[in-house]
Amino acid sequence: GYPQALMANEVQVQLNGTKKRCDTVLYRRDLTARMIVEYKAPEIEITQKVFDQITRYNMVLKVDYLIVSNGLQHYCCRIDYEHNSYTFLQDIPEYQNL
């Protein structure tokens, strides 16, 4: 699991003059953001629109990992800023492997 002390829910981000909220942000020990998690209800299909939403939040936070879940399906991707790309991971990594 992830250290609860390094997680925050309903984190506000300022995006193009509007206030938005990330469902959960996981921080490093130096309190810089490391991961954004976006939760959807089980009946909500995870689509490109959902990924667009979390990507907009990441324009502000610039984290290394994005996770989207509806409780049935879970997607995790690692952002590679050097190559301006991302990779979907098979599993959600353990905290010590981030």
User: What is the pLDDT, as a whole number, of residue 67?
Assistant: 97
Whole-model pTM? 0.92
Distance of CA 32 to the CA centre of its chain: 13
Sequence-distant (≥ 6) Cβ neighbours of residue 51 within 8 angstroms: 66, 68, 75
Angstrom distances, CA of residue 3 to CA of 6, 40, 50, 53, 76: 6, 22, 26, 25, 18
Mean pLDDT, 10 residues at a time, over the chain (98 residues)?
Answer: 95 92 96 96 94 93 97 96 95 92
Phi, psi angles (nearest 5°) of residue 54? -70, -30
Domains along the chain with CATH numbers: 4-93 (3.90.1570.30)
User: What is the pLDDT, as a whole number, of residue 1?
Assistant: 85
User: What is the pLDDT, as a whole number, of residue 18?
Assistant: 92
